[in-house]
Structure 1
């Protein structure tokens, strides 16, 4: 498989929220691709050759390489957007996604790996991430989705991070998150699309076998 392959190649890691958002958009747009599952502590040289960052997701196209998750989402939606993920004001959607990536994600990492950040207690890390999440999802107080009655790019881009936050302490999250946030999260976890993109794949570095998705 090389860069001139007729279909896209996606380097991904199943549990990475950035990779999840890319796979969600590709699956939604019915864009088929060759899947290469990466274990981040054993990055294949092929990934490092095409993207010096060595992060996932990376989408290899016949004429270019896209190594930012949001750019992959945009590329997929410009191929096909049947339900109108881009209908809501794009500048507002992008601002919310930027807030997620720049504010929630760092706090989420500190919450997940609190032992590496001893300057604050586990509860402080938990509350800091939880409070920013609540600010991020404040629109859910007035509508089922972030921008109204139908899910948007922002919903699908942010959901994987909220899911990851909830998974750190599921019981605590269920007890403390609002019913609106829990219903919103459950909507996405129950989607056939989400279940499909979360199917486990063998590590490509070992199997050397592309999976047609």
Structure 2
């Protein structure tokens, strides 16, 4: 039997979410190893000493340590949904960079010595408004169907919205809210959010998707 790539993942990590969504869309099967972040397996740390998820270890020994690299690798194997037709790297970098920094300060203010995160929450609104404007032109950022850009950005917008769902629902961002609701409610997202127990050496392999 041919060895499968090994994916170290954590269910609630947004970076791991987007990697799993691309793997599911490509139907490229991997061995999934669910990680508990406070108890990282030595096997993962040996492959990727930086200790963050996701990590994909390929059968030839190559290691992909960045979620966007994992997404692009998976879709290079099979992209039947045409996700790679829309890969807006500038928009993704803006989300992964300034927006993610604001999100972390908003969601976890005490980590940064803040009383609350409202200043950073409000700073993130310009990015959300820009996404909303783009989404008034089409259902998804790349057109009528989700594509790479949507999936790369989506988990972070979901995390922002969930921090105060009642407040988020009051924002005048109907196109963005509809986009988010559709992705959260999609069969694809449901399929990648199954719960798995923490992986331990000797466990039977868990195949994903």
Q: TM-score, normalised by structure 2?
A: 0.92
Matched, 1:56 2:48: no
Query: Could you tell me which residue of structure 2 aligns to residue 161 of structure 1?
Result: 156
CA deviation map 1:47-93 (0-9, x unaligned): 100001111001111111111100000011111111211113x4xx1
How far apart are the structure 2 equivalents of 1:26 and 1:177? 33
CA deviation map 1:158-190 (0-9, x unaligned): 000000001101111111151111110111111
State the 1:136 CA deviation. 4.2
Residue 204 of structure 1 aligns to a residue whose secondary structure is coil
Aligned residues: 207
Task: Give the gaps of 5 or more residues in structure 2.
Answer: none
Matched, 1:113 2:101: no
CA RMSD of aligned residues (A): 1.9
Contact residue 99 and residue 136 of structure 1 kept, 8 A: no
* Counterpart pick for 2:8 among 7, 11, 19: 11
Query: Could you tell me which residue of structure 1 aligns to residue 187 of structure 2?
Result: 192
Task: Give the gaps of 5 or more residues in structure 1.
Answer: none
Q: After superposing the two structures, state which structure 1 stretch, 112-121 or 47-56, moved more.
A: 112-121
Q: Aligned runs of 1:48-197 on 2, under 5 Å?
A: 48-63=45-60, 64-88=62-86, 90=87, 93-119=88-114, 121-197=116-192
- 1:23–1:121 distance in 2 versus 1, CA, 3 Å: same
How far apart are the structure 2 equivalents of 1:73 and 1:159? 14
Query: Could you tell me which residue of structure 2 aligns to residue 22 of structure 1?
Result: 19
Q: TM-score, normalised by structure 1?
A: 0.90
